[in-house]
Amino acid sequence: MNYFEIASILVSLSAVFGYINEKYLKLPTTIGLMLISIIFTLLTIILSYINPTLLNHQKELIGQIDFSSVLLDMMLSFMLFAGALHTNVQKLKELSRPVFGFAVISTLISTFLVGGLIYGILHLLGFNIDFIYTLLFGALISPTDPIAVLGILKKAKIDKKVETVIVGESLFNDGVGVVIFLTIFSIAKKGMDSFNLGRVAELFAIEVFGGIILGLIIGWITYQMMKAIDSYDTEVLATLATVMGGTLLAHKLHVSAPLAMVTAGLMIGTDRIRQNAMSEITEAYVDKFWELTDVILNIILFVMIGMELLVITFKPEYMIAGVISIIIVLLSRYMATKPLLKYFERKITFIPHTDFIMTWGGLRGGISIALALSLTEAMHKDIFLVLTYMIVVFSILIQGLSLESLVKKLRPKEVAVQTEKINDEQNEN
């Protein structure tokens, strides 16, 4: 199959699955599409006992898609830019300290907690895996996925302050998590003999701060271009060039493309820049273009996640480890966020049980699977891919579906009424 055939099949399947979800299931898009694609894949496997033709075609399709490269090198920048563009920047500024605290410190803490606990559990189950590889798994599973989080939180009707922190954290910890993963990946590949803490810290700082600075520069250039003209089609094209050209430049400069795109999206999405650089018609076209791009890529992504089931080798011992890993990841998420919440609560008042909401609302998605697929066989790719897939499926289907119910149960009735009133007022403004 060529690229056009693969894209055509994926888009066609996504359209059919999207129709089924909207017509019958009426679930949030990310949840519905992933559930339908998993069911479709399982039915294909069952039908293969009668006629393997459909299964063979599906395996051929999935086998020709480099999921890791497609998501990390192409789709991710578009989706992060779109998510950042539609984020409430004013609220994010007010909560910038907790957002960056959770995005960086919490992700690092979770990486080491998951890595250490998984190391102990796997050894108890008879798997002789070095700590550096379990730490690598901790790095790929710790960041929450903005693509999964953004769509589901909108339907959960949680306190806007908590929603802003979770969304902001997920936008930034994605880029931070990828940098941490690549750093540990490099150490694991070269061996501990090549480890140099100073050099690692330097590379980490260059990737993170370099990405943010590049995003600011690209965002400013795009702003100046949009401010100088009044042509909605050219201005939409300028934002598209921001993402594509900015991602290419980030890769060439060896800085974080995800962080660059988040920063550029937040900058262009600010009220001041919108007012100074965009007419009403331009703003409408820019928003609709990126909203539609985000929706389409989300749909295709979660169909691909469901179909990735075909390339994963499930063994009973892997699945036992997977169930335990789900508990470990949730526990590590709670332990990584609780101390920071206590610290920030000195100046910021959060609603009761924010720690549990942030733990359950910290969803994992395609980014974790993409990073797991990039592991080598020497890094025990098979078992970590199973663990990652089980955690992601549990995260999207179970946590995603139950988040709204959890929020309603945890907050007192009077707080719930007050929160909805505040949220309505903020949405009107």
266-290 pLDDT tens trace: 999 999 899 999 999 999 999 999 9
Kindly state whether residues 19 and 82 are assigned to the same domain: no
Taking only the tens place, the pLDDT of each residue in 200-212 is 788 788 898 999 9
From 42, 63, 84, the end of a domain falls on 63
User: Which residues are CB-contacts of 390 (< 8 A; sequence separation ≥ 6)?
Assistant: 319, 322, 323, 325, 326
CA-based max dimension of the chain = 65
Tell me which of 42-46, 152-156, 311-315, 383-387 is least confident: 152-156
Question: Given a cut of 70, is residue 420 above it in pLDDT?
Answer: no
Kindly state whether residues 40 and 128 are assigned to the same domain: no
Q: What is the average pLDDT score of the chain?
A: 88
User: What pLDDT is attached to residue 330?
Assistant: 97
Kindly state whether residues 307 and 342 are assigned to the same domain: yes
Kindly state whether residues 51 and 74 are assigned to the same domain: no
User: What pLDDT is attached to residue 413?
Assistant: 54
Query: What is the domain-level CATH number for residue 396?
Result: 1.20.1530.20
CA 409/CA 360 separation, integer angstroms: 13
CA 106/CA 114 separation, integer angstroms: 12
Kindly state whether residues 217 and 344 are assigned to the same domain: yes
User: What pLDDT is attached to residue 406?
Assistant: 86
More confident residue, 91 or 118: 118
Kindly state whether residues 398 and 378 are assigned to the same domain: yes
Kindly state whether residues 48 and 89 are assigned to the same domain: no
Kindly state whether residues 160 and 247 are assigned to the same domain: yes
CA 201 vs CA 117, 206, 291: distances in Å: 24, 9, 36
Kindly state whether residues 139 and 278 are assigned to the same domain: yes
Kindly state whether residues 59 and 74 are assigned to the same domain: no
Kindly state whether residues 42 and 189 are assigned to the same domain: no
Q: Give the pLDDT mean for 329-346.
A: 94
**Total domains present in the chain:** 2
Q: Which domain holds residue 12?
A: 3-63
Q: What percent of the chain has pLDDT over 90?
A: 55
Question: Given a cut of 60, is residue 427 above it in pLDDT?
Answer: no
Taking only the tens place, the pLDDT of each residue in 396-414 is 999 988 988 888 887 655 4
Question: Given a cut of 80, is residue 1 above it in pLDDT?
Answer: no
Kindly state whether residues 93 and 189 are assigned to the same domain: yes
User: What pLDDT is attached to residue 414?
Assistant: 43
From 47, 63, 79, the end of a domain falls on 63
